[in-house]
Structure 1
């Protein structure tokens, strides 16, 4: 690692444009475009090592971090999203409405570990959300938007 230079700072962003899509964050005026789904972590917060394995998990992007790493004179730019993930419900609630709509808890993981930061390349799609109640629980009804924006 002696040939790598890690700058002491990074740039914090509230929205990014990737291709034709604008991805917002909870800190921006693009709140609705901050709802994303990704194959990123397991129920216990461990990161999936292979893209496309496990379940798609909904999350809300809080903000973005643009980081530059110099390795052997080459610039390597990385864009990470800080995400709060929604908590899963048991399957009897989760698929209550039938696919593609899923029901998730309104509670969010306050994750400060590695699963809180996701490379934007691992984002699968956006989703729309409607909050409501199911069997006395506050829940979020989620429908993925499969618009072909997989990065």
Structure 2
């Protein structure tokens, strides 16, 4: 039957059958009476086809990643922690950072490792300051689990470069911000005479609108919790240390859509943020 359906001649029928078989395996587990819950299903069967992309990562690793990305206050991270994924091409090695970017990196490390002092080469700072490297390895894409995130560095993958991440605001509240990944990168510093590699992303963040009524324009009965699509300004914040985040903080992707709100006098264009559910195959 599948062979009779119109297709793109990419031989997707076997993959569809594998997915159906995988679904049947999950049904068997659920109906077997065995007490297996949530991400524990990841360890019960060997996935096939494209499902095997996430197989090298255990359910414990995925749990840790979810904890990092969702509970930012309770799970502070530095960027050196393992994550269930890898950096992908296009890539460039040994890229020399600009003076401005070095300043941002120094700020990032000072906030991340409050017990140490940092400075850029030939920069000012205490005698015990750790001098950070001026080079990074740059990447256009990053795979986390079975999902691939792009960046503006790779024009072919710009559509997957729009992400959401949580921040702790100045008043101690946690808010979710939309942004566009410019590139991913690896950067190594010496901590206690040991090289420590960090997995980071450089992101430009969109500005929020000043009115809650506009941001939650699509809410039901003025209940912000029911608002799945938010309106933000279409311009970015200025570049700063906040542009540097560990890849672990990436919460998910969104689709940006221009949206206008009109009244009798004028029309204002905003950026509608449409979140995309994360892909976690079992």
Pairwise TM-score range, normalised by the shorter structure: 0.7 to 0.9
Structure 1 residues 25-63: Cα deviation after superposition (integer angstroms, max 9, x where no partner)? 012111111111111263xxx6x98xxx52100001111
Aligned to 1:22: 148
How far is the alpha carbon of 1:72 from its aligned partner? 4.1
Aligned pair 1:61/2:174, yes or no?
no
User: Residues 204 and 237 of structure 2 are in contact (CA less than 8 Å); yes or no, is this contact kept in structure 1?
Assistant: yes
Report the Cα distance in structure 1 between the residues aligned to 2:218 and 2:148, rounded to whole angstroms.
Answer: 29
Shift of 1:73: 5.2
SS at match of 1:108: coil
Q: Which has the larger radius of gyration?
A: 2
Unaligned runs of 5+ in 2: 1-115, 117-127, 220-226
Q: Please show how residues 38-53 of structure 1 align to structure 2 within 5 Å.
A: 38-40=165-167, 42=169, 53=173
Distance 2:233 2:134 in 1: 37
Label 1:55 to 1:74 Cα distance change in 2 as closer, same or farther (>3 A). Answer: same
Confirm whether residue 11 of structure 1 aligns to residue 137 of structure 2.
Answer: yes
**Structure 2 residue aligned with 1:140:** 271
Structure 1: give runs of 5+ residues left out of the alignment: none
The 3-state SS of whatever aligns with 1:14 is strand
- What is the aligned residue count? 141
More moved, 55-64 vs 66-75: 66-75
Larger relative contact order (CA 8 Å, sep ≥ 6)? 1
Alignment partner of 2:218 out of 73, 77, 97: 97
Corresponding position of 1:31: 158
TM-score (norm 2): 0.45
Q: Which has the higher strand share?
A: 1
Tell whether the 8 Å contact from 1:40 to 1:118 is kept in structure 2 after alignment: no
Which one has the bigger helix percentage?
2
Please tell me the root mean square deviation across aligned C-alpha atoms, in Å: 2.4
Q: Matches of 1:61 and 1:41 in 2, distance apart?
A: 19
Tell me if the contact between 1:3 and 1:72 (Cα under 8 Å) persists in the aligned partners: no
Normalising by structure 1, report the TM-score. 0.80
Cα distance between partner residues in 1 of 2:184 and 2:193: 25
